[in-house]
Each structure stands twice: as C-alpha cells, then as structure tokens.
C-alpha cells in the first residue's frame, strides 16, 4: 500500500537559517508528489509538485524540493527561513487517480 | 473572491444532533473532496465526487452522507453526532486535468469547518 512518512513531528529553526523538511514515500513506481503548507486556522495551499523531469522542483515562497528515487524521498528546502514560514507542512502522494495520501505533517517553529 | 468556501466556519453542537456543512467552489472544477483533520493534524480523505458522481468513499461511518447537488457544491451531512466526530473538516476541489493526469492536479482547499461535539 502507498504511504507517506514525515519523520519529524516538529522542527524549530532560527529566522534566516536554512530549512529541510523530510518526506519519504512508499510506492513501487514514481508517484506524483506534493508539498502543501497550512498556516494556523487556514486550509492547505500548494507549495510545489513533482511528476517527472528535473528532480529539483521550484515552488512558491522560495521553497524547493528534490526527488530522490533511490531514497524514496522528496525533501523540502528553503535557504533562509522567515518568521512567516511558521506553519504545518504536509507531504503528499498520488499514484494517478483521485486519491491523494497525506503525511502526518511537520510543524515548523521559527525563532527570532 | 473566495475560491473554495465552507459554511459554517465553526460548529459547536451536542452529541446526538444532526448537522450539515456546506462547500462551494467557484473555480469551475469537476472534482470535490471532503477531508477530516484530527487533533494531531492528520488529514484523511473521506469522500470525493467527480461531476456529481461519488468516486471515493473511504471507511467512514454511514452517519456521514455527502451530497453534490451540482459540480460547484459538495455538502456533508452528519447524523447522530458523536464526540469522536470533533475535528476540522476540509473541502477541496481539483480540475479534471488531462486524461490520465487527474492525480497531478493541485487541490484547492477551503478554510475548514471546526466541529466540536459536546
């Protein structure tokens, strides 16, 4: 069965520091992969997505993610975090149909 | 102009009551979803409709009944509410996309309905 694992329940980084959020997936072929962000009290918003081609994907708000087939990973990165990036981040997987499977989320805290 | 809207935003009710949550999207999308997010932020799909037809029905108690009067609306009715139904319920929508690529489409989420059952 397909699954998405986000190993870190929460992460704290200092403002201006770099960020990497981990995501691992389980699926026999190459899935469609997504990162969504949920600000407090809001719905989810797409940051970026990957389905083929260049394994480094650029998204909104300065985020990028790299697909590594050998590691079944799709980690999200940002070179310099801003206080407004504090939110819940969800990695998600879709195998081509209507059902998307979400990871449990990683809560990002940003300290001044 | 809100793309995906939900009403109400907050819902506090007693156990055993029946309540409905409404969702509307003005994006012209063909597919709509209901998700449940529990207190640990885990997001689980409940239902999906494509062109008013039910296409995903996860293991959800039959007290939950979705209804799609048209492509732009997907409502969720809950009978005999229980304490465990307390959660945030999100509606989302996607376009159909190209043939065979429905899974690649971006989901647009509503702001959520926070349901508290007392």
Task: Please check whether residue A43 touches B, CB under 8 A.
Answer: yes
Q: What is the mean pLDDT of residues B36-50?
A: 91
Q: What is the pLDDT of residues A3-50, one digit of tens each?
A: 999 999 999 999 999 999 999 999 988 789 999 999 988 899 999 999
Residues on chain B touching A34 (C-beta within 8 angstroms): 106
pLDDT recorded at residue A52: 83
3-state SS of B26-68 is: CCCCCEEEEEEECCCCCEEEEEEEECCEEEEECCCCCCEEEEE
Q: Which of A1, A96, A98 to mutate to test the interface with B (most CBs of B within 10 A)?
A: A98
Q: How far is it, in rounded angstroms, from Cα B108 to Cα B98?
A: 17
User: Which residues of chain B lie closer than 8 angstroms to A51, CB-CB?
Assistant: 104
pLDDT at A102: 94
Nearest C-alpha of chain A: how many angstroms from B40?
8
pLDDT tier for residue B98 given thresholds of 50, 70 and 90: low
Contacts of B33 (CB under 8 A, 6+ apart): B45, B46, B47, B48, B49, B56, B74, B91, B92, B93, B94, B107
Q: Which residues of B touch A96 (CB under 8 A)?
A: 100-103
pLDDT confidence band for B99 (50 / 70 / 90): low
B9: confidence class by pLDDT, cuts 50, 70, 90: very high
In three-state form (DSSP H/G/I as H, E/B as E, the rest C), the secondary structure along A6-67 is CCCCEEEEECCCCEEECCEEECCCCCEEEEEEECCCCCEEEEEEECCCCCEEECHHHCEEEE
| Average predicted confidence (pLDDT) for chain A | 94
Q: Is A27 on the interface with B (CB under 8 A)?
A: no
Q: Which residues of A touch B100 (CB under 8 A)?
A: 96
| Nearest CB neighbour to A96, from listed B48, B56, B100 | B100
| A98: nearest CB among B41, B50, B110 | B50
pLDDT at B1: 63
């Amino acid at each position: 069965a397909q699954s998405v694992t986000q190993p870190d329940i929460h992460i704290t980084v200092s403002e201006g520091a770099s960020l990497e959020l981990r995501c691992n997936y389980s699926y026999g072929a190459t899935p469609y992969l997504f990162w969504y962000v949920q600000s407090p009290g809001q719905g989810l918003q797409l940051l970026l997505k990957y389905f083929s081609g260049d394994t480094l994907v650029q998204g909104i708000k300065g985020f990028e993610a790299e697909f590594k087939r050998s590691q079944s990973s799709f980690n999200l990165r940002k070179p310099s975090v801003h206080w407004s990036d504090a939110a819940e981040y969800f990695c998600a997987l879709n195998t081509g149909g209507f059902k998307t499977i979400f990871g449990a989320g990683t809560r990002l805290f940003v300290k001044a | 102009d809100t793309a995906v809207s939900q009403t109400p935003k907050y819902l506090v009710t007693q156990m055993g009551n029946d309540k409905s949550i409404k969702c509307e999207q003005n994006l012209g999308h063909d597919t709509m979803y209901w998700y449940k997010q529990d207190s640990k932020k885990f997001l689980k799909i409940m239902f999906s409709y494509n062109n008013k037809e039910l296409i995903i029905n996860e293991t959800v108690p039959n007290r939950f009944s979705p209804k799609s009067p048209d492509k732009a609306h997907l409502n969720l009715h809950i009978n005999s509410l229980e304490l465990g139904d307390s959660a945030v319920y999100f509606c989302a929508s996607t376009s159909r996309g190209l043939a065979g690529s429905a899974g690649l489409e971006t989901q647009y989420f509503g702001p959520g309905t926070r349901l508290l059952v007392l």
